[in-house]
Structure 1
Amino acid sequence: MKTVFHLVQADEQGRETTLTIANNLTEDDQADIEEIAVVAQADGAEPVTTGGTGSETVETLLSKGVSVKICSNTMDLKELEESDLVDGVETVSSGGAELTRLQADDYAYIRP
């Protein structure tokens, strides 16, 4: 199985919940998960920025092989540069398109 988490929440607790669930999934020995992705867009961008609230969890997820991506439209709106991102975060053309692509590739969609 494959899972994609949509990180879009404006509130810090909502973002933390999303990242915690993704991390818990990496540690669940009874789940047969092949791949996990997190797609950040809009207000969900905070944790994927260097020093942002939740960036430590993003670093942990990346170290566990989770793919973390950010919408380039969000980067433009928030005036973020590649250098502002946690090392290993990938930029995608649009969050919506990436979520659609992943779901077409049989990823289960989760938005806590």
Structure 2
Amino acid sequence: MALICSFEKVGYMKVAFHLSQIQTNEVRKALRNIKHLREQEPEAEIHAVSNTSAVTMMKKEGSFEEKITELIEKHDIQMKACANSIEGTKMKQKDLIDGVEVVPSGVAELGQLQDQGFGYIKP
């Protein structure tokens, strides 16, 4: 008996980026990677989940507000911030950039996304 396997791309790409670095160069690289993926895969479903001190990159009037707003509004990226980390950094949810979704746990969100077939990327 022979077993034949074939793989073909079905549907669209689903990717979850794990954002946990706050160093400026690392954040810039991560945001560029997200934008480049969108440009290469216009139909992809892309989520970017921040936790630890990286939630501070999602702060209104912060260094990355313009780039994150562009990713949300122009490139349809689902930007998410961990509620535990928001509390741990003494931020308030109202301090977040408009369009950033708060999830109870960033790690749990990443696990759920992977369970739904999302690929995991940690830039």
Q: Name the residue aligned to 2:63.
A: 53
Describe the superposition over 1:88-109 as per-residue Cα deviations: whole angstroms up to 9, x where unpaired: 1000010100000001111111
Gap regions ≥5 residues in structure 1: none
Q: Name the residue aligned to 1:44.
A: 54
Deviation at 1:79, TM superposition (A): 1.3
TM-score by length of 2: 0.84
Gap regions ≥5 residues in structure 2: 1-12
Pairing partner for 1:11 from 20, 23, 28: 23
Following the alignment from structure 2 to structure 1, what is the Cα–Cα distance between the partners of residues 57 and 37?
18
Aligned pairs, number:
110
Deviation at 1:47, TM superposition (A): 2.0
Following the alignment from structure 1 to structure 2, what is the Cα–Cα distance between the partners of residues 85 and 10?
15
The percent of aligned pairs where both chains have the same amino acid is 32
Deviation at 1:46, TM superposition (A): 2.4
What does residue range 45-84 of structure 1 map to in structure 2 within 5 Å?
45-63=55-73, 64-84=75-95
Describe the superposition over 1:62-95 as per-residue Cα deviations: whole angstroms up to 9, x where unpaired: 0121100000000111111121000010000101
Following the alignment from structure 2 to structure 1, what is the Cα–Cα distance between the partners of residues 19 and 43?
19
Following the alignment from structure 1 to structure 2, what is the Cα–Cα distance between the partners of residues 9 and 69?
14
Checking the alignment, whether the CA contact within 8 Å between 2:22 and 2:57 is kept in structure 1 is no
TM-score by length of 1: 0.92
Following the alignment from structure 1 to structure 2, what is the Cα–Cα distance between the partners of residues 50 and 3?
25
AA aligned opposite 2:30: T
Cα RMSD of the aligned pairs, angstroms, is 1.2
What does residue range 96-111 of structure 1 map to in structure 2 within 5 Å?
96-111=107-122
AA aligned opposite 2:101: E
| Moved segments of 4+, more than 6 Å | none
